[in-house]
Amino acid sequence: MEVKIGVQHAPREIVVESGQSADEVEKAVADALGGTSPLLSLEDDKGRKILVPAAKLAYVEIGESAPRKVGFGVA
Protein backbone atom coordinates (compact mmCIF):
# COMPACT_ATOMS: atom_id res chain seq x y z
CA MET A 1 0.00 0.00 0.00
CA GLU A 2 1.39 3.40 -0.94
CA VAL A 3 0.62 6.24 1.47
CA LYS A 4 1.42 9.88 0.69
CA ILE A 5 1.36 12.31 3.61
CA GLY A 6 1.31 16.07 3.19
CA VAL A 7 2.67 18.04 6.13
CA GLN A 8 1.82 21.70 6.71
CA HIS A 9 4.64 24.14 5.85
CA ALA A 10 6.74 21.35 4.29
CA PRO A 11 7.53 21.58 0.56
CA ARG A 12 7.62 17.81 -0.02
CA GLU A 13 5.25 15.03 0.86
CA ILE A 14 6.21 11.86 2.73
CA VAL A 15 5.77 8.68 0.68
CA VAL A 16 5.55 5.39 2.57
CA GLU A 17 5.27 1.86 1.17
CA SER A 18 3.34 0.10 3.93
CA GLY A 19 2.31 -3.48 4.50
CA GLN A 20 -0.76 -2.21 6.36
CA SER A 21 -4.16 -2.42 4.71
CA ALA A 22 -6.05 0.68 3.55
CA ASP A 23 -8.50 0.21 6.45
CA GLU A 24 -5.65 0.09 9.00
CA VAL A 25 -4.08 3.26 7.59
CA GLU A 26 -7.46 5.02 7.53
CA LYS A 27 -8.10 4.05 11.17
CA ALA A 28 -4.65 5.34 12.21
CA VAL A 29 -5.36 8.67 10.46
CA ALA A 30 -8.84 8.93 12.01
CA ASP A 31 -7.43 8.19 15.48
CA ALA A 32 -4.74 10.86 15.05
CA LEU A 33 -7.20 13.48 13.78
CA GLY A 34 -9.85 12.54 16.35
CA GLY A 35 -7.54 13.32 19.25
CA THR A 36 -7.08 9.70 20.33
CA SER A 37 -3.37 9.95 19.55
CA PRO A 38 -1.22 13.09 19.09
CA LEU A 39 0.81 11.29 16.39
CA LEU A 40 0.02 9.53 13.14
CA SER A 41 2.05 6.33 13.40
CA LEU A 42 2.59 4.11 10.36
CA GLU A 43 4.99 1.24 9.69
CA ASP A 44 6.66 0.83 6.31
CA ASP A 45 7.27 -2.49 4.56
CA LYS A 46 10.80 -2.66 6.04
CA GLY A 47 9.57 -2.42 9.63
CA ARG A 48 10.48 1.24 10.22
CA LYS A 49 8.00 3.50 12.03
CA ILE A 50 7.00 6.87 10.62
CA LEU A 51 5.58 9.35 13.14
CA VAL A 52 3.92 12.61 12.07
CA PRO A 53 2.34 15.10 14.51
CA ALA A 54 -1.42 14.98 13.94
CA ALA A 55 -1.70 18.76 14.22
CA LYS A 56 0.61 19.20 11.20
CA LEU A 57 -1.20 16.84 8.79
CA ALA A 58 -2.34 18.56 5.59
CA TYR A 59 -3.59 15.46 3.71
CA VAL A 60 -3.16 11.69 3.48
CA GLU A 61 -3.51 9.86 0.18
CA ILE A 62 -3.97 6.08 0.35
CA GLY A 63 -3.53 4.04 -2.82
CA GLU A 64 -2.38 0.74 -4.22
CA SER A 65 1.29 0.40 -5.04
CA ALA A 66 1.88 0.72 -8.77
CA PRO A 67 4.38 -1.65 -10.36
CA ARG A 68 7.52 0.15 -11.47
CA LYS A 69 8.00 0.39 -15.21
CA VAL A 70 11.44 -0.39 -16.55
CA GLY A 71 12.72 0.26 -20.05
CA PHE A 72 12.04 2.61 -22.86
CA GLY A 73 8.92 2.98 -24.95
CA VAL A 74 9.20 2.56 -28.69
CA ALA A 75 7.24 5.04 -30.77
What the chain holds in terms of domains, given with CATH numbers, is 2-63 (2.30.30)
Q: Is the pLDDT of residue 74 over 70?
A: no
What mean pLDDT do residues 12-34 have?
Answer: 93
pTM to 2 decimal places: 0.79
Q: Residue 47 and residue 68: Cα distance in Å, rounded? A: 21
8-state DSSP, 37: -
The tens digit of pLDDT for each residue in 25-47 reads: 999 999 999 988 899 999 999 99
Find the helix or strand (DSSP H, E) in which 45 lies: none
Q: Residue 75 and residue 72: Cα distance in Å, rounded? A: 10
Q: Return the number of other C-beta atoms located less than 10 Å from residue 16's C-beta.
A: 19
